[in-house]
């Protein structure tokens, strides 16, 4: 069915996990993928053709070398480079004082991104910039639009949920996907699943929170730039989808440097059962930030290729609702999101 040619903006832990995963699954059929084959495409059909970053430690290096400048532990080794050097991006608001030392920005000049995307043959641009870099994310969305590329926004910046930007992509005949990537199995999805099961069993939810402590640069950005935005998105994603009339709080509470790429989530739920008997749940979840997004990204990239093949344009609700915390049209629950995605691949309309 051919390759899916993508460009990646932001060669951090999430990009590292995706790129390593593509190579990893060439050599093994071991589990870890939500969907090994999706719409006829395997994860190894994804081909990285363009890479952008602003770190001095990465710019100019082949992407197979640059990804190991992150704090994500290597899962594999590459026998050969793939001849995709990382080019210098535009910084805009991609750096704050607290992250400058971690990023170590390069002084190299940036390229003309419209021409760069066209020259590489990229058909989908995946934005993995840090939370809070709103101007940079919007800039790259426009550059992808000029180059005739679909755009996937993994950040909390409003892109797919922005009516004006969505209309621009619709008018250009290009798919737009986002916003704010949901992990394969993190606190948000688990929170929803447990609460849904409790509600289905007649439990009255009284209160709940899911608070993160992380050590990666994404957690650092969230603490200083988007803590309130992310908290609102996560809280609404949980409470809104399940129509719970109870205090629900979800978000990042602190940054701990020695956790590195790991994230600890404290999940607390209080409910009332038969005759008001109390049920209290106190759970700790530990995940790795980069790999936890890899499988969902692989699904989203492959279905975005389906959208391109089908001529779909503008914000694609079915893809966004499946893989993102803040899609234009949130699903009622994860099961509905999966059904709508399957129907989309088959060319059928969305539920609801």
Q: How far, in Å, CA of 124 to CA of 308, rounded?
A: 9
Domain identity same for 196 and 250: yes
Say yes or no: 301 and 206 in one domain. Answer: no
Last residue of a domain, one of 288, 312, 332: 288
Sign for the CA dihedral angle at 108, 111, 117, 118 comes to negative
Q: Residue 46: its pLDDT value, please?
A: 98
pLDDT tier for residue 204 given thresholds of 50, 70 and 90: very high
SS3 of 163-186: HHHHHHHHHHCCEEECCCECCCCC
Q: How many residues does the chain have?
A: 352
Question: What is the pLDDT at residue 246?
Answer: 83
pLDDT tens sequence across 85-107 = 999 999 998 887 877 777 889 99
Domain range for 311 is: 4-182+291-345
pTM of the prediction? Answer: 0.90
Domain boundary among 261, 288, 315: 288
At 148 the pLDDT is 98
User: Rounded to the nearest 10 degrees, how much is the dihedral formed by the CA atoms of 190, 124, 75, 71?
Assistant: -80
Does the pLDDT at position 239 exceed 80?
no
The per-residue pLDDT for range 117-157, each reduced to its tens digit, is 999 999 999 999 988 899 999 999 999 999 999 999 999 99
Alpha-helix runs per DSSP H in 82-186: 97-103, 113-120, 134-147, 163-172
What would the pLDDT profile of 257-284 be if each residue is shown by its tens digit? 888 878 899 999 999 999 999 999 999 9
Quick one: CA torsion of 320, 324, 327, 332, rounded to 10 degrees?
Answer: 90
> Hey, what are 139's tokens?
């800039």
Of 176, 208, 213, 173, the residue nearest 191 (C-alpha) = 208
Q: What is the pLDDT of residue 242?
A: 67
Asked if residue 351 is part of any domain, the answer here is no
Both 12 and 96 in a single domain? yes
User: What integer pLDDT is reported at residue 241 of this predicted model?
Assistant: 59
Identify whether 30 is part of a domain: yes
CA distances from 82 to 51, 74, 219 (A): 12, 17, 30
Give 62's strand partners: 85
The DSSP bridge partners found for residue 37 are 42
Q: Which residues contact residue 8 at a Cβ distance below 8 angstroms, ignoring those fewer than 6 apart?
A: 15, 18, 19, 48, 50, 51, 52, 63, 125, 126, 128
CATH number for the domain including 33?
Answer: 3.40.50.720
Report the chain's mean pLDDT, rounded to a whole number.
90
Of 34-48, 114-128, 206-220, least confident by mean pLDDT is 206-220
Q: How many domains does the chain have?
A: 2
Using one digit for the tens of pLDDT, what is the confidence trace for 157-201?
999 999 999 999 999 999 999 999 998 888 888 888 899 899 999
Distance CA 288, CA 275 (A): 40
Alpha helices in the chain (DSSP H): 13-27, 63-66, 97-103, 113-120, 134-147, 163-172, 187-200, 217-221, 227-242, 289-310, 317-323, 334-345
For residues 114-149, b (16+ Cβ closer than 10 Å) or e, as one string? bebbeebebbbbbbbbbbbbbebbbbbbebbbebeb
pLDDT of residue 230 exceeding 90, the answer is no
CA-to-CA dists, residue 40 to 1, 3, 35, 299, angstroms: 7, 11, 11, 11
């Amino acid at each position: 069915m051919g390759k899916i040619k993508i460009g990646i903006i932001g060669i951090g832990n999430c990009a590292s996990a995706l790129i390593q995963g593509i190579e990893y699954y060439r050599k093994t059929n071991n589990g870890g993928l939500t969907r090994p084959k999706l719409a006829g495409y395997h994860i190894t059909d994804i081909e990285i053709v363009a890479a952008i970053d602003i770190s001095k430690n990465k710019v100019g290096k082949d992407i197979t070398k640059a990804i190991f400048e992150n704090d994500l532990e290597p899962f594999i080794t590459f026998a050969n480079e793939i001849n995709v050097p990382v080019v210098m991006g535009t910084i805009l608001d991609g750096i704050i004082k607290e992250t400058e030392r971690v990023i170590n920005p390069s002084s190299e000049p940036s390229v003309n991104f419209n021409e760069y995307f066209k020259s590489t043959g990229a058909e989908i641009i995946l934005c993995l910039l840090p939370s809070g870099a709103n101007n940079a994310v919007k800039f790259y969305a426009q550059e992808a639009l000029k180059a005739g590329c679909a755009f996937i926004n993994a950040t909390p910046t409003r892109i797919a949920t922005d009516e004006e930007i969505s209309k621009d992509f619709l008018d250009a005949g290009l798919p737009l996907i986002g916003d704010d990537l949901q992990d394969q199995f993190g606190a948000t999805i688990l929170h929803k699943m447990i609460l849904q099961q409790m509600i289905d069993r007649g439990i009255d939810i009284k209160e709940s929170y899911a608070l993160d402590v992380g050590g990666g640069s994404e957690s650092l950005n969230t603490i200083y730039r988007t803590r309130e935005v992310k908290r609102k998105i996560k809280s609404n994603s949980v409470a809104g989808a399940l129509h719970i009339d109870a205090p629900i709080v979800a978000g990042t509470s602190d940054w701990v440097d020695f956790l590195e790429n790991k994230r600890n989530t404290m999940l607390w739920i209080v409910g009332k059962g038969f005759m008001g008997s109390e049920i209290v749940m106190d759970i700790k979840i530990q995940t790795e930030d980069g790999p936890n997004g890899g499988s969902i990204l692989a699904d989203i990239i492959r279905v975005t290729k389906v959208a391109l093949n089908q001529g779909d344009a503008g914000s694609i609700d079915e893809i966004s609702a499946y893989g993102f915390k803040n899609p234009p049209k949130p699903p009622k629950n994860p099961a509905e999101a999966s059904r709508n995605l399957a129907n989309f691949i088959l060319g059928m309309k969305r539920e609801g």
